[in-house]
Chains A and B, each alone.
Chain A
Amino acid sequence: MDSPFQDPLRFERRVPPCIIVIFGANGDLTKRKLLPALYRLAYERRIPPNFAVIGNSRTEMTDDAFRSKMRESVEKFLENSPFDEGLWNDFARNLFYLAGDITKQEMFDQLKTRLGEIDESHKTEGNVLFYLSTQPSYYATLAENIGKAGLQQDTKGWRRLVVEKPFGHDLKTARELNDRIHTVFREDEVYRIDHYLGKETVQNILAFRFGNGIFEPLWNRRYVDNVQITAAESIGVEGRGAYYQEAGTLRDMIQNHLLQVMSTIAMEPPAVFEANATRDERAKLLRSIRIFKPEEVPLNAVAGQYGPASVGGEDLPGFRQEEGVDPNAQTDTYAAVTFHVDNWRWAGVPFYIRSGKRLPKRITDIAIRFKSAPLSLFPAELDDGSRPNLLIVRIQPEEGISLRFLSKHPGSGMNLRPVSMDFNYGSSFGTRSPTAYETLLVDAMIGDPTLYTRQDMVEASWSAVQPVLDDWGQRKFDFPNYAAGTWGPKESDEMLARNGHAWRVP
């Protein structure tokens, strides 16, 4: 029945009554992202009054102490939004805290009692979203303990589980984690968060590709020469050295975020814009990535680690000099991989993906380089010699799309020079974009998994990088091999040069 009270043209999507249980509520993610996102949703009237949050961690704390701690975080980390005292007081009344050890069953028995009380007082209709924001090693135990306490099901409402990355440490552990979670939750109740997919500009790739008729005919091996995906950070590990040396860039960025971005850029159009249809196409693309034989890995993957350097008068430490890092660490702070997609659309088109720390600037973009015109009418020395047509999808920091093409330079003679046609997301839609966590939290509460990764997608992306992980795990690298503030090791340039290509400078 159409409600006479709804106005989808003007009203924002609103979440149903529910309780969010955050495990790891004393951690950075809760303070920096989750609570500011929830407060912002309340500010925009997207959260109903019958809504509550139960935070859990080991630290003993009263509800009031938790509220005041969360208030500090929200005031500090709220982006582009005002803080309203009255609204906060109202919002904070729905925040609760339960101290306890997530490995002990008694904690879950207490949680069950608390959930029952709050469901009764707040009329949350039995709906509960469990958010795992703890150390990844606890994910499976947490899910199992939720199951042992019988919290995974309710006679009247829904129960969902949100899992932060990393989903496993490799293919084997990802499968194990999935299997253990599935003993308690069905796949359609599991929401694996990859915040890159929640970014407005990554979602905009779908609009750009499938909302317009002019690009899709060019989006294939016949016209595309190569695709480059870059996710560069100018900062180092910033106090996360201990974590990072166990993870590395390939695991931390490429296996999840960048392969998801690649799947969005390269997937086939879904039959309908609906969660499973879209995820099916992403999964198909990921399964089409060629799995390297051991001897192919050195030709298609490059690991790097930054060394100390002076940049702009500032002395920057090398990775091995960072706090908490083993002085002989073999961790990749830079990774570049050439992926090949074995399907009819992309056969023969290399997808170059690179990511690294302490690169010259912070930027994430996708560059689609088109083939040259079939016949060169103009003498080669008159242009810059490179394939001129480049479509760049900028994800951060300045979201937008640029198309580069050649134009005649004014004057006598046919002097060609590249020019750029820009679409700037911020200038065309100056409105504040929701943060990725706002988008994804609403989706999880509404029950829309379109922007969440599914088990088969996770396993397919681990499969794609597993041969590289296996190879790098056996090798001893001569690190560091690039200086902080540069675009990575020379071997990365050589990898592209073997195909007659070069990294663009973003």
Chain B
Amino acid sequence: MPTGLQPEKILGELGKLWTELAHPEKGPATASGVLRACAMTLIVATNDAADAEAASEGLAQLMHEHPSRAIVLRPADGGELSARVFAQCWMPFGSRQQICCEQIEITASLAKLGDVPGLMLGLVAPDLPVVLWCRGPRWFAAPHFNELLALTRKVIIDSATCDSPRSAFDLIERLGSHDRIVADLAWARITGWREIISHSFATPADVEAAAVIREVHVQYAGPSAPPEALYLGAWLKRGMPHANLSLDRVDGPPGIRGVSLDDLVYQAGEGSTIEVRSPKGSHAAMLPPTTECAAMREELSIIRPDPIYERVRGAARELAA
């Protein structure tokens, strides 16, 4: 346990913070006071000071839907462990009472990382799930990081931040081997694509027809096939086992640009629209937002194993090989 930074001290500061918020003359609360909301502990391991700022901005949005005790881990080049506490508050539209969540920011050098798990043990909100959002792969190589992982029920990473899809899938495989839920924001980013494609295969007859599809093309833009394209290809192959799968690079904004399944075509269009064309006709469908925040929202709403993702990620890893 580090000297000078005990969980009790940080929790004491949190207690003081809530007392201040509850008194309108001292805090930003209204006359109705504030409502404290917490559904989980969300530990956010950031890459550097700038990333910690970006993460805090993202948390401010996420808290509305997933109120948490957020603990932001901010790496530093050196120095002792330090912490500060503050609240994220907002006034819901039409409400008379502010809702507040608490945030703890811990600054630690890699050398001091070994002190962090012990500190975290005392800081997690009792009896609620602990989720770790790791915003970069470097943390997984840090000493004692496994002890931090041991606290968590779910780990969320973004494979797009790894050196290559292959290294990301290897990491996910390792993390998932300890009876822990692992999620990848790249998988959440293709939920809209998968959902729209699934609409073409809603009935048992459609599923049977899918089994005889011969050509599956996933089009992506970017220098090489991103994890999203690999996931989507692997997911499609589950329902079309006899098809030839091809990942095709095209011009355009990075990401998935289209999918074709024989004569069934899904093409990214203007804005968030996807045009679906088949011999029977065409129609438009809306793709949900694929921002980091939207993907995190989706992942935080699932605090249990995701059997479909677990099946697909192995196949995606093979595709990346």
Contacts and interface: CB of A to CB of B under 8 A. Distances in A.
B39 interface: yes
Given A49-B276, A427-B37, A428-B39, A43 B286 contact: yes
A10 B235 CA distance: 14
Contacts of A426: 92, 95, 99
B320 to A, nearest CB: 20
Contact of A428 (B37, B191, B195, B276): B37
A43 B194 CA distance: 16
A6 B203 CA distance: 10
A218 interface: no
Nearest to A84: B286
A344 to B, nearest CB: 35
Given A4-B239, A7-B308, A430-B64, A86 B94 contact: no
Contacts of B94: 397
Residue of A44, A427, A430 most packed against chain B (CB within 10 A): A427
Interface string A254-283: 000000000000000000000000000000
B35 A11 contact: no
Contact of A427 (B67, B191, B285, B297): B67
Given A11-B198, A43-B286, A5 B207 contact: yes
A87 B286 contact: yes
A427 B92 contact: yes
Contacts of A424: 35, 37, 97, 99
Contacts of B276: 49
A155 interface: no
B281 A49 contact: yes
A5 B95 contact: no
B202 interface: yes
Residue of B66, B271, B281, B283 most packed against chain A (CB within 10 A): B283
Contacts of B95: 398, 426
A123 interface: yes
B284 A5 contact: no
Nearest to B302: A9
A16 to B, nearest CB: 8
B207 A1 contact: yes
Interface in B85-105: 92, 94-97, 99
Contacts of B97: 424
Interface residues of A, number: 33
B202 to A, nearest CB: 7
Contacts of A6: 198
B26 interface: no
Interface in A1-22: 1, 3-7, 9-12, 14, 16
A45 B285 contact: yes
A183 B284 CA distance: 41
A48 B199 contact: yes
Interface in B189-219: 191-192, 194-199, 201-202, 204, 207, 210
A90 interface: yes
Nearest to A431: B65
A422 interface: yes
Residue of A5, A9, A424, A426 most packed against chain B (CB within 10 A): A5
A378 interface: no
A4 B200 CA distance: 12
B224 interface: no
B286 A48 contact: no
Interface string A426-445: 11111100000000000000
A40 to B, nearest CB: 11
Nearest to B201: A5
B270 interface: yes
Contacts of B204: 1, 3
Residue of A4, A43, A431 most packed against chain B (CB within 10 A): A4
B298 A10 contact: yes
B280 interface: yes
A4 B207 contact: yes
B15 to A, nearest CB: 15
Nearest to A121: B281
B284 A87 contact: yes
Contacts of A9: 302, 306, 308
Contacts of A5: 194, 197-198, 201, 207, 210, 239
A45 B207 contact: no
Interface in B293-313: 297-298, 301-302, 306, 308
A16 B210 CA distance: 19
A330 to B, nearest CB: 36
Nearest to A426: B92
B195 A45 contact: yes
B284 A14 contact: no
B242 interface: no
Given A10-B302, A424-B37, A427-B67, A87 B207 contact: no
Contacts of B271: 84, 86
Interface string A373-399: 000000000000000000000000110
Given A398-B95, A427-B67, A4 B283 contact: no
B191 A10 contact: yes
B199 A45 contact: yes
Contacts of B84: none
B273 interface: yes
A213 to B, nearest CB: 15
Contacts of A1: 204, 207
Given A3-B201, A86-B273, A398-B95, A11 B195 contact: yes
Nearest to B282: A49
B9 interface: no
Nearest to A400: B35
B238 interface: yes
A475 to B, nearest CB: 40
Contact of B284 (A16, A86, A398): A86
A327 to B, nearest CB: 36
Contacts of A48: 199, 202
Question: A-B pairs with the 9 shortest C-beta distances?
Answer: A430-B64, A430-B65, A4-B239, A49-B283, A5-B198, A427-B99, A5-B201, A90-B284, A427-B37
17 contacts: A3-B239, A4-B207, A4-B238, A7-B308, A9-B308, A10-B308, A11-B195, A45-B285, A48-B202, A49-B199, A49-B283, A84-B272, A86-B269, A87-B273, A90-B283, A424-B37, A430-B92
Given A4-B238, A49-B276, 12 more contacts: A9-B308, A14-B199, A45-B196, A45-B285, A86-B271, A86-B273, A397-B94, A424-B97, A428-B37, A428-B39, A430-B66, A431-B301
Interface of B: 35, 37, 39, 63-67, 92, 94-97, 99, 191-192, 194-199, 201-202, 204, 207, 210, 238-239, 269-273, 276, 280-281, 283-286, 297-298, 301-302, 306, 308
Interface of A: 1, 3-7, 9-12, 14, 16, 43-45, 48-49, 84, 86-87, 89-90, 123, 397-398, 422, 424, 426-431
